[in-house]
Amino acid sequence: MRIVVGEGSCGVASGAKKTEAALAALLAERGGAAGDGSYSGITLEKAGCVGNCYLEPVVDVYGDDGGLAARYVRATEERAADILAGTADDLLISDEDAAFLSQQRRIVLRNAGLINPEKIEEYIAAGGYEALRKALTQMTPEEVIEEVKVAGLRGRGGAGFPTWFKWDAARNADAGGGAKYMVCNADEGDPGAFMDRSVLEGDPHAVLEGMAIGGYAIGAHEGVIYVRAEYPLAITRLEIAIAQAEEKGVLGKDIFGTGYDFSIRIKAGAGAFVCGEETALIASLEGERGMPRLKPPFPAQKGFWKQPTNINNVETFANVPFVIREGGAAFAAYGTEKSKGTKVFALAGKIAKGGLVEVPMGLPLRDVIFGIGGGIKAGRAFKAVQMGGPSGGCIPAALADTPVDYESITQTGAIVGSGGMIVMDEDTCMVDMARYFLDFTRKESCGKCNYCRVGTKRMLEILERITLGEGRDGDIELLEELAGKIKDGSLCGLGQTAPNPVLTTIRYFRNEYEDHIYNKHCTAHYCKALVTYAITDACVGCTKCARNCPTGAISGEVKKPHGIDQAKCVKCGKCEENCAFGAVLRD
């Protein structure tokens, strides 16, 4: 029997390590640990995140036949004894929550939560490195690229550029007798995005194998994974995976006896959002300040150390072993005509079931948010979904039937991006949401371009005025004008797309901007400067609101309706938060 504790970052944050420790202590009491790490025939292991982040910690129990016997959710350390005794039926995953996974089609996440990411033997047992063996022993580099072309695999980092085309360009580039490089962009920086982190934590060997296949295809012998330093668990598991792969001979010299050499090293980035742009990433790899440069030349011609370089993101590489092992046609069987395969998304925000999902391209947004994600928390109304992070845009509820593919999402003004989906409900102020993303972009601008450096600051100042109730006639038009100039005047894609959250919120929620500016009213009752709290006749005089008011703005007699002194009110919302009778009105 095996017991597997989900220990991705989400699980660890929810107490999974404490659960594992409690299980280990109880098992040790039964008979001590054997040399293989088992306890009286029971093996205790770890895995990455299975995807049900909202149910962490997750503990899986596998029977002697290797099949999943039980999945326990919210399995805290206090319930460890019940789990071992088989009496924690109240923790068993419900059919509704199990459907979160059953509605997906998993290629990138095929091993997520199922194998121990720190044991290469489990990856190999699941078919790992067979694709690399096939590529090196049965295929030419051109045939590998052709298979990726048949698959229709597009870069999953945001732009959706055809992977085969980039590989082909790098293969045909003249290295001038020097080296070629295969680089993995793991500098995932979008707010609310955690796809790449979870893949690296749960299945690092899939990325290593994809990079090695790509390296063979373009003629590179060195790979670099550029990962943000804020992902310590991902870095640790990558380090373990690389060491194990070298020991097994699937990385390093003379792989599978074919004479092909390929090594991989890790570069921890300092967390600059702009380093997600490939030329800025290359500058950072070279020890320079991460700033974009003009293209052409493209990295495929002159990249890292001015040598031919191919850059793909984590998810793109994780798809490659499946494409080579199963064939490009098997991958292309999913998705749409122009957007093949599956896509991983991180569901976050006001969603009922937050976590990782992988679905075929072309599935409507509605099916992802409501069918898999369970809809909106607390039964609130769905208002919009932000896709593509700071470079993307807000898609309103009216467009919930939009297919999730590159072309359809782009038509809405957003982008698929790396896969973040931040779901918003009726209480979300769209003007403030635009302000939030623009504030992020302004802070992360490298400063190289005047329009990006200064223009985003000017746009942010306007948005801040509007949310403070100081908006002026013409502000909307000024925002649109500045947005156009920033798009046209910025050097890199990050600057060019920075105005997207503002433009899409103006496009779909212009009434909220007008309400803020002309009526000095926040439609969502969110912006503090435009909100007024009042106590209605439903007040029973329990005094709880008065006791929790930080400024003493609430007064009244016990068992009689209270009132708020608006001059003292700082609009913190404590009164509404503490009222059990719905007597506080926010307007």
Q: Are residues 231 and 373 in the same domain?
A: no
The whole-number pLDDT of residue 515 equals 97
Does the residue 337 lie in any domain?
no
User: If residue 554 lies in a helix (H) or strand (E), which one and from where to where?
Assistant: strand 554-555
Residue pLDDT, tens place only, 532-548: 999 999 999 999 999 99
Does the residue 51 lie in any domain?
yes
Q: Shortest CA distance to 461 belongs to which of 489, 435, 443? A: 435
Residue 508: Cβ-neighbour burial (10 angstroms; 0-12, 13-18, 19+): buried
The DSSP 8-state label assigned to residue 298 in this structure reads P
- Residue 478 sits in a domain whose CATH number is 1.20.1440.230
Q: Are residues 82 and 147 in the same domain?
A: no
Q: Are residues 195 and 291 in the same domain?
A: yes
The whole-number pLDDT of residue 550 equals 95
Average pLDDT, the chain: 95
The pLDDT-based confidence of 249 (bands split at 50, 70, 90) is very high
Does the residue 111 lie in any domain?
no
Q: Are residues 417 and 443 in the same domain?
A: no
The pLDDT-based confidence of 194 (bands split at 50, 70, 90) is very high
Range 93-111 average pLDDT = 95
The residue out of 468, 483, 518 marking a domain boundary is: 518
Does the residue 112 lie in any domain?
no
The residue out of 366, 396, 425 marking a domain boundary is: 425
Residue pLDDT, tens place only, 282-302: 999 999 999 999 999 999 999
The pLDDT-based confidence of 29 (bands split at 50, 70, 90) is confident
The whole-number pLDDT of residue 157 equals 86
The pLDDT-based confidence of 216 (bands split at 50, 70, 90) is very high
- Residue 550 sits in a domain whose CATH number is 3.30.70.20
Is the model's pLDDT at 159 over the cut of 90? no
- Residue 62 sits in a domain whose CATH number is 3.40.30.10
Q: Are residues 504 and 545 in the same domain?
A: no
Range 188-208 average pLDDT = 94
Is the model's pLDDT at 429 over the cut of 60? yes
Does the residue 299 lie in any domain?
yes
d(CA 76, CA 73): 9
Q: Are residues 48 and 136 in the same domain?
A: no
Residue 119: Cβ-neighbour burial (10 angstroms; 0-12, 13-18, 19+): middle
Residue pLDDT, tens place only, 513-531: 999 999 999 999 999 999 9
The whole-number pLDDT of residue 418 equals 87
Whether residue 296 has a cis bond before it, omega within 30° of 0: yes
The residue out of 332, 362, 381 marking a domain boundary is: 332
Query: Tokens standing for 77?
Result: 């350390």
Range 65-85 average pLDDT = 95
Range 337-365 average pLDDT = 96
d(CA 88, CA 171): 56
d(CA 492, CA 477): 24
d(CA 317, CA 437): 28
Residue pLDDT, tens place only, 390-415: 999 999 999 999 999 999 999 999 99
Is the model's pLDDT at 35 over the cut of 60? no
The pLDDT-based confidence of 186 (bands split at 50, 70, 90) is very high
Q: What's the one-letter identity of residue 155?
A: G
Q: Are residues 325 and 184 in the same domain?
A: yes
Q: Are residues 307 and 356 in the same domain?
A: no
Least confident of 32-41, 193-202, 223-232: 32-41
Does the residue 107 lie in any domain?
no
- Residue 377 sits in a domain whose CATH number is 3.10.20.600
Query: Does the predicted TM-score (pTM) go above 0.85?
Result: yes
The whole-number pLDDT of residue 192 equals 86
Does the residue 371 lie in any domain?
yes
- Residue 241 sits in a domain whose CATH number is 3.40.50.11540
The whole-number pLDDT of residue 187 equals 94
Residue 194: Cβ-neighbour burial (10 angstroms; 0-12, 13-18, 19+): buried
Q: Are residues 376 and 240 in the same domain?
A: no
Range of the structural domain that residue 371 is part of: 342-425
Does the residue 523 lie in any domain?
no
d(CA 316, CA 196): 10
Non-local (6+) Cβ contacts of 426 within 8 A are 380, 381, 383, 524
The whole-number pLDDT of residue 469 equals 95
d(CA 159, CA 146): 21
- Helix orientation angle between 141-151 and 314-326, rounded to the nearest 10 degrees: 100
Q: Are residues 306 and 217 in the same domain?
A: yes
The whole-number pLDDT of residue 30 equals 79
Q: What's the one-letter identity of residue 544?
A: K
Q: Are residues 224 and 137 in the same domain?
A: yes
Range 25-50 average pLDDT = 80
The whole-number pLDDT of residue 32 equals 60
Share of the chain above pLDDT 70, in %: 98
The whole-number pLDDT of residue 271 equals 84
Number of domains observed in the structure of the chain: 5
The whole-number pLDDT of residue 136 equals 98
Query: Tokens standing for 552?
Result: 């003493």
Is the model's pLDDT at 119 over the cut of 80? yes
Range 52-76 average pLDDT = 95
Q: Are residues 145 and 255 in the same domain?
A: yes
Residue pLDDT, tens place only, 445-498: 999 999 999 999 999 999 999 999 999 999 999 999 999 999 999 999 889 999
Residues linked to residue 346 through DSSP beta bridges, in sequence order: 356, 420
